[in-house]
Structure 1
């Protein structure tokens, strides 16, 4: 998708209608179509002011020359737009060589249409687009859970506060739901305290504010994260930021320690509401839009041409690539037995790094040395049975 996004960005830049920065500072010419038109209007206004001021000008000749010069800039930008559109089309065709499959008309029943509208409405609310959600609610008449809407609105307000480096609302919510976070073994509260402490340490003129805030950490946080809390305390010795960045505590200056808070908080908040950590509509778009539909259509076409459709079971022997974040189950096939791992037959890894299923591992044990196993991929090595561990 990088090539497609690159060409789309170029096209957007050329077609951007923005009064600011419409002239390229390097060439002095308009950087987009809007800039070329703005330049023409500005030149005409300047010419009008000169005429009104009494300057002796050959008006028809001046206007003709002005329009011809500016028309060239407009034509150049139009050519760039058409060229960019052609490149974008070629990039899309190259990325998606197979056509999107044609299905029968879907969401025709009232129940299916309502389900789709409800999914879109929930997507709007979870992404903070409450104005769009209200419009869809009024147009479709879908019932909205007032409690869930209020909760999602609160989550969005807290996320906005985190974007502004304010952890107070998030900490207030964490204190009210500490029991829930404890069950999940979540370290969100410590990460919030750590983020604010590090901001004080790296922005204040003295280490005193950071030290004072460090002492305000709740006792249970200090106990649960004793090692990390000790590192935060000893990092005071490397104040200011210039020393901290070149110290053994340089990892504490990583901006990800602050930017990751938004995603971590949203994950815990949604879990508390019983919602998935990922947006369902976005997951469907990512999987289907990244080539799944095209691969399914290609598989159907190939099987149809070879006349070996699985008409009875309506299945396709097609592997669909999905992003790592959408792989929800670990799948392991033992290279020895060719069987898929299960809870009762989990994958096991030996000290050499090779992995086999537990049943295969039992069969690989040496009869004369029950406590030792012969790895089928390392013929010169032999490993003790107690050196094995569950891989997943």
Structure 2
């Protein structure tokens, strides 16, 4: 009997049932650690970003103060003017000190988060069995928080993280910062997104990102849509011209909208005025945001589910007689499993529909006259309680135990 042909016979794949992953120990701790790349990478990237911003701030303010001192030396000033000038420089340095104190506090928090996550991962290798069981529960909670944040359920994610006491293991603050950009783009406003691009300019440039260009292009299109042609031309000269060397074709297409306008029927230019362009910007920001912090493109929940579905997906999952216990009967799971290949089972492994026990040489499968298959132990128990009679739980067909025949698994 081949695997994938058993659903209509009252048996299910052996891999379907089993205890929840959160209730089992990690048999391979090193393999589990490999899946936690994002857990360590995100706070590290956030810390690097904060340190770069602090460095730029110090360089800018110190350069301004040094220039101010040089100006005071070169310029003839009265005593009162010199005192006033130096006082302004001191005030500027005091302002820098306050900002550095805030930055230091923020960076200390990020360092603490990195340390907390490393300590969390160390439990896999050095923790007790009880600690590892708790670690698995925490991982499920982390995965759920990650999914909620990516799905814009921010308040729910915050409450779950607080109730589970995993604030240091969740990336809530990063997503809350990005929330402003998401909401602005959904309201057709590029201001927050452009500010985000300016803040992360070096990283985006290194990654050869076109996100800022797309934002500038969209702002230009909105000016054309509003028939503010002169403003659009001035905007293009200031913000789009610098991108000409790398995006000339798209730039030329955009400039042609000045002649075609927003009510054009020409497909090449009509698409630029489509409101779906804003949805594309949201998707592109999502990708750039994930790349910037080293996050996975898919939610961690999807990745873990697909890992399990890859072992369960067989041709029989898409047949009408598929068992109700198969998760691939649900449309949401089918969508997740769609890009996955079918699982290859070299040997059939059958589980009894009644007892949920594996059918093997010690508990062989027995075939009822109606074609359904159940384990010997389940049939013997049923016959014992019903004076030798067997009733198929799927069809209601009744027969004597002696009418059953043995099936052979290949």
Which TM-score applies when normalising by structure 2?
0.44
Greater helix proportion: 2
Q: Which has the higher contact order (CA 8 A, sep 6+)?
A: 2
Which TM-score applies when normalising by structure 1?
0.46
